[in-house]
Amino acid sequence: MDQQNESDALIDQAYELFLELASDNLDEPTIAFFNQAFPERGGLGECEPEEDWEEEIQAQVLPEEWLEVRVGLLDDQQEFDYLFARILINRDPENPECHILWRPE
């Protein structure tokens, strides 16, 4: 699988996890906000993992092993102006580990 297909698959997987776990981790007003705003302004983005993950999970986070996926709302420049979650997902299909920061600042 090439890198773009791998990233797309990981983004899809991360979004499915977000949808599955959101009701347990976000309050009702935030979920209502997501349901109202996401169809128009919603975005999923990938990036190299931020440095704060190492402290969060107490382990080394290497970009070749992990992908960070962001679920949020985009502004007019197609940049995130609100995040519902940051998701750290392992690139190895044999190791389906992931971590989620809900409503990260």
Are the CB atoms for 7 and 46 separated by under 8 Å? yes
Q: Which residues pair with 69 in a beta bridge?
A: 46, 87
3-102, what's its fold? Nuclear Transport Factor 2; Chain: A, (3.10.450)
Instruction: Give the pair of three-digit tokens for residue 12.
Output: 């899809």
Per-residue CA distances from 82 to 55, 66, 86, 91, 104 (Å): 23, 23, 11, 25, 9
Q: What is the pLDDT along the chain (105 residues), one digit of tens a residue?
A: 567 788 899 999 999 999 999 999 999 999 999 999 999 999 999 999 999 999 999 999 999 999 999 999 999 999 999 999 999 999 998 888 999 999 976
Burial degree of 57 (CB within 10 A; 0-12, 13-18, 19+)? middle
